[in-house]
């Protein structure tokens, strides 16, 4: 009963709190919404679409393919190998990008 009550209880957000979307898995296809905040993806061989606008995209793992909508001021962080991130941002905005690992590709959408 207590577990059910906890699941049904609304989550209280502090003023100024940043929305966060999280995904963990392997070999999955999914769509998440960062709702103007952050998106965190962990795993391997996933195909993820992140609706935004996101201020931060963090990808950790290997072989993930991620498409993300970014905010004007945004950051992409990728840790791992063979991840592919394609991003869109308003106007001529460009994200700050950091990548550690081998064969990660981070590029704007065509």
User: What are the sequence ranges of the domains in the chain?
Assistant: 20-103
Residue 104: the pLDDT is: 98
Burial class (CB in 10 A: 0-12, 13-18, 19+), 84: middle
Q: What is d(CA 34, CA 19) in angstroms, rounded to the nearest whole number?
A: 7
Residue 19: the pLDDT is: 81
The reported pTM is 0.84
Q: What's the average pLDDT block by block, 10 residues per block, for the chain (110 residues)?
A: 35 53 97 96 98 96 98 98 98 97 97
Residue 68: the pLDDT is: 98
Residue 17: the pLDDT is: 55
Residue 15: the pLDDT is: 44
């Amino acid at each position: 009963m207590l577990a059910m009550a906890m699941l049904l209880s609304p989550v209280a957000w502090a003023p100024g709190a940043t929305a966060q979307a999280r995904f963990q898995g392997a070999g999955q296809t999914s769509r998440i919404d960062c709702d103007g905040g952050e998106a965190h993806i962990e795993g391997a061989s996933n195909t993820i679409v992140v609706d935004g606008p996101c201020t931060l995209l963090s990808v950790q793992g290997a072989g993930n393919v991620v498409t993300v909508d970014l905010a004007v001021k945004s950051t992409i962080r990728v840790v791992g190998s063979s991840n592919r991130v394609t991003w869109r941002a308003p106007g001529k905005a460009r994200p700050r990008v950091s990548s550690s690992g081998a064969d990660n590709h981070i590029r704007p959408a065509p």
